[in-house]
A and B are shown apart, each in its own frame.
Chain A
Amino acid sequence: MPARISRQDVAHVARLALLDLDDDELDRATEQLGAVLDHVADIEALDLEGVPPTAHPLPLRNVFRADVVGSVLDRDEVLAAAPSAEDGRFRVPAVLGEEP
């Protein structure tokens, strides 16, 4: 396990998470995330060989319901709480021709 996260790693992760960081924020985040990851490294002391992962505390199964129309949210009420809407849909700026 790498001891610390690099400044480049933090910049990459911020980009993936759609967050803009200025230079100061990038420095601070690199230091703070590094400190947390250093602490988390104490797990290395455990023997986890052969231990299966647990993603969830309950033995979950699929839950089914009858295939009938239930109560649904009111469309106008949902759209009224959105930043922008038009013709019964969420409205966003241009999406075509963007660099990803």
Chain B
Amino acid sequence: MSAGDARAIAAAVRSGARSARDVVEEHLARIAARDGELHAFTAVTGDRALAAADAVDRKVAEGIDPGPLAGVPVALKDNLCTRGVPTTCSSRILEGWVPPYDATVVTRLAAAGAIAVGKTNLDEFAMGSSTENSAFGPTRNPHDPSRVPGGSSGGSAAAVAAGFAPLALGSDTGGSIRQPAALCGVVGLKPTYGRVSRYGLVAFASSLDQVGPFGATVADTALAYDVIAGVDPLDATSIPDPVSATSAVLGEGVAGLRVGVIAELVGDRMGIAPDVLRATRRAADVLATAGATVEEVSVPSCVYGLSAYYVIAPAEASSNLARFDGVRFGMRVDAPTTLEMQRATRTAGFGPEVKRRIMLGTYALSAGYYDAYYGKALRVRTLLLREFAEAYERFDVLLSPTSPTTAFPFGAKTADPLTMYLNDVCTIPSNLTGHPALSVPFGVGDDGLPVGVQLLGPALAETTLFRAAAVLEAGR
């Protein structure tokens, strides 16, 4: 389904074999033909994209290299700030807000020659696992439009899967890149916390949020990662360590690599569907056949990650989302006094899931409950870090399912918030530890829809994850 090949496009544009304008026009035509049905985008920025493409073509004509992503269309999750282009977080409360600056990742992509074609739909403020929480209506899964694309970066995953753009950016706080990547049959990486700048990412949970790439292939995803990774003076949490190009080592294979299958996430306790478990086992076999040693490893606190996350993330969100009060950004509901105006604006501007999480977080941080909830959750986080550190003494990479099931029908998990939260059980541990994790498509489930498997590594092990993912991609 996906026709994206960012590497081939960039090579053709850099050599002058194909114009960036031609590439962009082709992708805009695909968007025009099918996004009415899929709704991957909250906004398509065609005129800007064509102007940027012409600028790339002028560089090529003048003998200047436009960069490693020359002429490659990219889709940007609509919680990444874009100067002069509305940024909504798929929330009413930000409707009409036009950021006065670009996110660093947006600047980096443009500097590498990439062409932003639009902003993609998400669960409001990235809170959700299906895009059903978007204030502007859900995105549909390109593989089966009666199913969700996953979330919260569902628009970005669907855009890549539908061939609207070979690359996209998302954000991942509890699985919001990896889970939609799995459900849409594309590759998605949550980099190490701090590896990619978050300047200009609208904050959800600041100790967990990370920006990362989607691609139709492992090689394309690695190319995008190489462009966006690295220290940023505008993000005090970004890591100063130099970035080694992952694209260069993709073909190195996994001979001698020590792979651990996380026992808790392939057991019968976590509600993982049998077809997803079979795919995960088969992925382990493919890695073993390619020369890796594969064993099961126990990370007992994985089971408690979900609980810790659903205290920590709402707690941080309740603080971060206090800034949306009708004073500086977006919409305002008029009222006689400021306090009434703020209350009326927040009440009208936030959707039900965002309100739920703000209240949950406010409660968890409130006097008398702080130690019982937030304090305990932070201690579980320490246990997880210790257990993963032990596991990485014996293993280079860990393997698990990405999502408990393939893409589910609309409305299947909206009746009760907890049912939706359980989608994140395999992805949350890496956010709590700050470690990198990647989802790579690996076969299909009993319903014929894509299954993703997850590769996890210690801090800054992105290169190893891409190497292993390339082997799974070739062997699926």
Contact = CB atoms under 8 A, between A and B. Distances in A.
A23 interface: no
Contact of B379 (A18, A40, A51, A77): A51
B174 to A, nearest CB: 14
B380 interface: yes
A16 B379 contact: no
B341 A93 contact: yes
A1 interface: yes
A94 B441 CA distance: 55
Contacts of B307: 39-43
A11 to B, nearest CB: 10
A68 interface: no
A98 B338 contact: yes
A71 B327 CA distance: 24
A19 B349 CA distance: 10
B378 interface: yes
A10 B356 CA distance: 10
Contact of A46 (B99, B362, B383, B418): B383
A interface, by DSSP: helix, strand, loop or mixed? Answer: loop
Interface stretch (B34-42, B126-134, B368-376): B368-376
Nearest to A14: B359
B377 interface: yes
A65 B325 CA distance: 31
Interface residues of A, number: 55
A65 B383 contact: no
Interface string B336-377: 111111111011001000011011101100100000110111
A100 B343 CA distance: 12
Given A58-B239, A74-B100, A82-B328, A17 B378 contact: no
A52 interface: yes
B332 interface: yes
B256 interface: no
Nearest to B316: A55
A81 B100 contact: yes
Contacts of A2: 372
A64 B339 CA distance: 36
B98 interface: yes
A27 interface: no
Nearest to A52: B382
A88 interface: no
A18 B342 contact: yes
B2 interface: no
Contacts of B435: 57
Given A39-B418, A93-B336, A94-B336, A29 B356 contact: yes
B385 A54 contact: yes
Interface of A: 1-2, 5, 9-10, 12-14, 16-21, 29, 32-33, 35-37, 39-43, 46, 48, 51-58, 60, 63, 65, 73-74, 77-78, 80-84, 90, 92-95, 98-100
Ordered nearest first, which 8 A-B pairs have the shortest CB separation?
A57-B434, A53-B378, A83-B332, A77-B100, A54-B381, A48-B379, A63-B236, A40-B307
23 contacts: A9-B363, A12-B366, A17-B318, A18-B325, A33-B360, A39-B306, A40-B373, A40-B377, A42-B307, A46-B380, A51-B382, A53-B379, A54-B379, A54-B385, A58-B193, A58-B434, A63-B236, A65-B233, A84-B332, A92-B338, A93-B341, A94-B337, A95-B337
